[in-house]
Structure 1
Amino acid sequence: MGDDLAIEARDLGVRFRRNRRGRRNVKDLFAGASRRSQPDEFWALRNVSFDVKPGESIGVVGRNGQGKSTLLKLVAGVLLPDEGEVRVHGGVAPLIEITGGFVGDLTVRENVRLTAGLHGMGRAEVARRFDGIIDFAELADFVDTPYKHLSNGMKVRLAFSVVSQLEEPILLVDEVLAVGDKAFREKCYRRIDELLADGRTLFFVSHNERDLRRFCDRGLYLDKGALVLDAPIADVLDRYNADYNAG
């Protein structure tokens, strides 16, 4: 595996239970989770290999339940593989399960400090970026409001604003642009354009063909947990659409 890559994946495999979510996180590693295959288990991903160079924009394509979000969580370090390995060179800014990690009883101000701190921002940096985060989220009138009293749209705006301020070289995005009103989506588009122009690496899961064509130059097409095509994004979308229309 080379040091000139942002992401390296080799023969990745992830197994889940059909009747309940399999134990697939870091905590289970210490709890001694069994690796033996059981009849009620299935492979969400298997034999998936690819490399991502710094600055590349990768779109992950496939129907629901084909392993896209599972792959993103492996890259984020949220899940552990049952087979193979994934190496990520550099920190990640994860826009996945976007409102997770915020605390309902804490105010917007307190949540910004907490969440940014958990992502590695020091106090001085949080203070320096605080006004920009709040302005981007359009929450200047709600900084001392408990998070639980925000609307869903406000929560999404706050989460995107915090994570998009991180200076990590790899941006992981899972359908976040499908939420929020049109004006805020356009603001998010412009922010992602800025991050890409700055040389960030993008790993983007979406069903929105327009967004995939706008942001991505290369695609990974997953079907039944297997990587069936790794090619320019236009070719991947053409193949996906042909397969979809064929039923």
Structure 2
Amino acid sequence: MEGHAIHVDGLGVRFRRNRRGRRSFKDLFAGAKRRTRPGEFWALRDVSFTVEHGEAIGVVGRNGQGKSTLLKLVAGVLLPDEGSVTVSGGVAPLIEITGGFVGDLTVRENVRLTAGLHGMPRAEVARRFDGIIDFAELHDFVDTPYKHLSNGMKVRLAFAVVSQLAEPVLLVDEVLAVGDKAFREKCYRRIDELLAEGRTLFFVSHNERDLRRFCTRGLYLDKGKLAMDAPIGDVLDRYNADYNGG
């Protein structure tokens, strides 16, 4: 593959404290900038980095430092107020377990809908359907409305669908923290398989063991800034020292 898997340059995004400040169409298309108004703050600012194809990147930082915001910007869910994000190929996002699923549709219908929205051809969805249901362990709930599933079932279904997508970049935000130990181990094995295939992993987590297991490099966000970009062990040591006052 040519180029970078992810290229982030001078990235900044601004929110209002009560709700997200939205730019006007004039601002968006004309590239107009305005000063920060009262009640606004920068969730991320001046963030730049590149991710190579096949890299496994862990994003760390305390709550409210911009980790999930960064993930949503890479996924294309949010638009930046400054700078740019470029992703080579599509993304397979596991950033909100209920995102993309419709409560009144059955598990079967949601698998077809969600996979289809991510560009999986109908014939491919049909071919992979049994494997998705097997992975999610939802054989007895195929025709059950999604809204009647437990949170654990929803996580299993989301991971089962997204991990079957062919997109080269996998975005994961704490989803492995939900579910029982046996299912987490199944997810770990699937991520190992995807990494062995050369996929790129962009992983936000507070779980140091998971970060050390999957990631070779880390990004440390602090107060919306990129405080450190280094091997994952060094990043975690720095983060732990800052957090513990060391």
TM-score tier after normalising by the smaller chain length: over 0.9
Structure 1, unaligned runs of 5 or more: none
Letter in 2 for 1:6: A
Equivalent residue, structure 2, for 1:144: 143
Letter in 1 for 2:117: L
The alpha-carbon deviation at position 22 of structure 1 amounts to: 2.6
Cα offsets for 1:75-105 (capped at 9, x unmatched): 1011111111111111100010122121111
Cα offsets for 1:96-150 (capped at 9, x unmatched): 0122121111111001001110111111000000000000000011111111111
Structure 1 range deviating more: 32-41 or 99-108: 32-41
What are the equivalent positions in structure 2 for 1:1-247 lying under 5 Å apart? Answer: 3-23=2-22, 36-246=35-245
Taking structure 1 as reference, are residues 64 and 97 closer, same or farther at Cα in structure 2, changes over 3 Å only? same
Q: Secondary structure at the match of 2:11?
A: strand
The alpha-carbon deviation at position 160 of structure 1 amounts to: 0.7
Conserved 8 A contact 1:102-1:111 = yes
Taking structure 1 as reference, are residues 192 and 24 closer, same or farther at Cα in structure 2, changes over 3 Å only? farther
The share of aligned pairs that are identical, in percent, is 86
What is the CA–CA distance in structure 2 between the aligned matches of 1:78 and 1:59, rounded to whole Å?
20
The alpha-carbon deviation at position 23 of structure 1 amounts to: 2.8
Q: Secondary structure at the match of 1:13?
A: strand
The alpha-carbon deviation at position 37 of structure 1 amounts to: 2.3
What is the CA–CA distance in structure 2 between the aligned matches of 1:194 and 1:25, rounded to whole Å?
43
Letter in 2 for 1:233: I
What is the CA–CA distance in structure 1 between the aligned matches of 2:46 and 2:199, rounded to whole Å?
27
The alpha-carbon deviation at position 162 of structure 1 amounts to: 0.3
What is the CA–CA distance in structure 2 between the aligned matches of 1:96 and 1:7, rounded to whole Å?
17
The alpha-carbon deviation at position 19 of structure 1 amounts to: 1.9
Structure 2, unaligned runs of 5 or more: none
The alpha-carbon deviation at position 36 of structure 1 amounts to: 4.8
Taking structure 1 as reference, are residues 168 and 62 closer, same or farther at Cα in structure 2, changes over 3 Å only? same
Aligned length: 244
- TM-score, structure 2 length as denominator? 0.94
Q: Secondary structure at the match of 2:242?
A: helix
- TM-score, structure 1 length as denominator? 0.94
Taking structure 1 as reference, are residues 241 and 24 closer, same or farther at Cα in structure 2, changes over 3 Å only? farther
Cα offsets for 1:59-88 (capped at 9, x unmatched): 001000000011111110111111111111
